[in-house]
Amino acid sequence: MTDTTDTTDTTDATAAHGRPSRIGPRLPAFYCPFNERLIHPKAEEIEARAVEWTDRFGIYPDAVERAWGLATHSADFSSRIIPLGDVEAVALFAQWNYWANAVDDWQDSGSTPASTAAIADHGVRLARALEAPGSAMLPPGPLTEALDDLVARTRAALSPFQLRRFTEGARDWLFGAVWQTANAERDVMPSLADFVATGALANGTRFSLTWADAANGIHLPAEVLYSAPVQVATDAAGFIVSADNDLFSYDKDDDQTPWEQNLVNVLAHERGCTPLEAVPAAVALRDRVMAFLVRLCGQIAEGADEELRRYLDSLGHYVAGAIEWQSRAPRYASPRNRNELPVPGARFELTWRDTPSDQDTSAPPVPAFAWWWRQLAD
């Protein structure tokens, strides 16, 4: 095994957070065979257009909220997970991401987070706004006006099948938010089995990957896209991105009561240990899924046509691009619960490993994983 360090100019952002991190001052090394450090060649243009769009619709109520909204680096996320393809599609996706993060921040804003009832009601209205434009189910305001603009342009840009898939991805995100909020209201930390089974929801994997398809002109037939092996590969990529986000965003959410529902806290609760002690287990589980994804994608690729191979490539871009984006986003590297404003240039120091931290190739003892591993031919 070889560990290599990102030698670019980095900051140990956690050291400046103002209070110690429960998971330690540095992130563990990342195992990512897909790591190509790609970014869309029009990334700067995409960012400029996205920021102009947020300002035109006024989705941030004041300068402070705007600073934190832009600290998501949503355009960088979009340009890294979709490093190739049509710039119009990636620009529209970036605008969706700024909007979605603004909604996410609304859900977490205030001294009392939004209730399950409020998020469920809002989620139904958002979903119907996508499917039934002009239904006027949302209250007037900048976020609604921006959403109406996004919906109109999205319906013009996507095929009916892609639009259906994008709507499903939005529902995933909304369902995940409702489930997590309900757990928090009941002071329930989910079991590892439940957490894994719902992992494809809250992170909006299908919400994002639809735009990778649109930008790259990938049109998989439903019988291929929704076949069990491809569905599992998609979910596995989503699990890895979520697990990585749970590490990068841990300090951003460590002031919440009850504790944030993330992989580290779920394992700490289940094993009766501290979050710091749970980190190796979280990384081992994540690495085991990564190695599984490599095997499964290799198996699928053996009999795949060019279209399906390009889809599998987009899963790798999604995983690797998300790591690079999160390491550079001030939203995570200078979290709001420790800083009045985002720290310009704040980022995490990354180290990489060539092999998974867990060499076991069998399915972890979790029901959802058992079904995933059954998709392997051997």
Six token digits for residue 332: 């995570």
Six token digits for residue 111: 């001294």
DSSP letters for 120-177: HHHHHHHHHHHHSTT---S-SSHHHHHHHHHHHHHHHHS-HHHHHHHHHHHHHHHHHH
Distance (Å, rounded) from C-alpha 345 to C-alpha 160?
A: 41
Query: Residues near 237 by Cβ (< 8 Å), separated by ≥ 6?
Result: 205, 293, 315, 318, 319
CA angle 157, 163, 165 (to 5 degrees): 140
Element of type H or E holding 254: none
Distance (Å, rounded) from C-alpha 202 to C-alpha 180?
A: 8
Residue that is written with structure tokens 């996508």 in the block: 130
pTM equals 0.93
Quick check: 74 and 115 in contact, CB under 8 A? no
Q: Which domains does the chain have, with CATH numbers?
A: 3-373 (1.10.600.10)
Q: What is the pLDDT along the chain (378 residues), one digit of tens a residue?
A: 344 443 333 344 444 456 799 999 999 999 999 988 999 999 999 999 999 999 999 999 999 999 999 999 999 999 999 999 999 999 999 999 999 999 877 655 544 567 899 889 988 888 888 888 888 788 899 999 999 999 999 999 999 999 999 999 989 988 998 999 999 999 999 999 999 998 767 788 999 999 999 999 999 999 999 999 999 999 999 999 999 999 999 999 999 899 999 999 999 999 999 999 999 999 999 999 999 999 999 999 998 999 999 999 999 999 999 999 999 999 999 999 999 999 999 999 999 999 999 999 999 999 999 999 999 986
**What ranges make up the beta strands (E) of 70-192?**
none
Distance (Å, rounded) from C-alpha 14 to C-alpha 262?
A: 18
Query: Residues near 118 by Cβ (< 8 Å), separated by ≥ 6?
Result: none
